[in-house]
Structures are given as structure tokens and as C-alpha cells.
Amino acid sequence: MKQLRLKVLAGLFVVAGIISWGAARLWDSVGTLPSVPIAAPIVLAAIAAVLTATALSIRSRLRAQRDRRPGAKGVEPLMAARAVVFGQASALVAALVAGMYGGVGVFLLASLDVPARRDQALYAAFSVLAGIGVIAAALFLERVCRLPEDDDESRAPAA
């Protein structure tokens, strides 16, 4: 499984932001811009909380197993792999969603004097922050579940 790369996530964020900014300009010139849902930052924050709780749980179980505490529950490799895949998928989607709301938020900055647009810009900003939280939690989960490096090449062959 390949590691998440910050460059890929940043690229997705920027491309989605540029496309959504252009789409918001076009949509606003044709009609009324759709609103940013208030549930967007809430859902993203909930996903970040689940990823963080999973990472902390796995980390404590691995630490207990490593310290050979009596009654320590191990971590099944398949469960850890599923958690990492969920984290990676969440980070990729969060980068796209945060970029999308970021582009809309940048478009809305021009009309902050309108109370409804100011609220929409605020929801978009919270969505971007929550998306960054999802990405940070996914990277933390990936780091917790990473296997130790193989040192087979540095070891001397057995005689």
C-alpha cells in the first residue's frame, strides 16, 4: 500500500478550488449560487474524530502489545489495513471537498457585506478547516499503522 503524499493532496485541493471558484462565478452570473450546507463542516469534523479515535486506539493497543502487558489485545493486520484504507480514502475525498468549499469561499469573499453570503463564506471556511482536520487525522492514522522498516539489507548474511 502506498503512503499518502502531501503533494497529491495539495494538488487535489488546489485544482478543486480553482474549478469550484470558476463554477461559482459562472453559476452566480447565470442564477443564484447554491448554498454551502451547514452539515458539511459537521460531517467532516465527525470523520476527523473517528479517524483520530481509531488511530489513538490502535496506537495504545500496539504500545500495550509492544510492552508485553498482561491481557493486551493485539491488532489484527487486516483491521489495521482497513483502517489505513479508510483514512486514505477519507483524506483524498476531504482534499477534494475542502478545495471545492475553499473555491466557493474565495468567491464569496467579494460580497461579505451581504449577511447571507457572509454566513455562507463562514460555513465554507469551517468546511476547509474540518477537511484539513480529516487529512491530518488520516496522516496520523497512517503513521500509527506503518510497519517498521526492513533492515534485511543492512544485516550481515548468516554464515
- Per-residue model confidence as pLDDT tens digits over 127-138: 999 999 999 999
Residue 84 lies in a domain: yes
Residue 23 lies in a domain: no
Nearest to 127 by CA among 51, 35, 26, 5: 35
Q: How many CB atoms lie within 10 A of CB 7?
A: 8
Residue 66 lies in a domain: yes
How confident is the model at residue 149, as a pLDDT? 64
Q: How many CB atoms lie within 10 A of CB 66?
A: 9
Find all residues with CB under 8 Å of 29, minimum gap 6, and list them. Answer: none
- Say which residue the cell 474540518 belongs to: 130
How confident is the model at residue 157, as a pLDDT? 53
Residue 154 lies in a domain: no
In the chain, the number of structural domains is 1
What is the rounded CA–CA span in Å between residue 80 and residue 63? 14
**Cα angle 128, 96, 93; round to 5:** 100
Residue 96 lies in a domain: yes
How confident is the model at residue 91, as a pLDDT? 96
**pLDDT values of the chain reduced to their tens digit, one per residue, 159 residues:** 788 899 999 999 999 999 999 999 998 888 888 888 999 999 999 999 999 999 999 998 888 877 777 777 777 888 888 999 999 999 999 999 999 999 999 999 988 888 888 999 999 999 999 999 999 999 999 999 887 664 455 555 554
Q: How many CB atoms lie within 10 A of CB 70?
A: 5
Residue 153 lies in a domain: no
State the residue range of the domain holding 78.
6-16+37-144
Residue 62 lies in a domain: yes
- Say which residue the cell 473517528 belongs to: 50
Residue 128 lies in a domain: yes
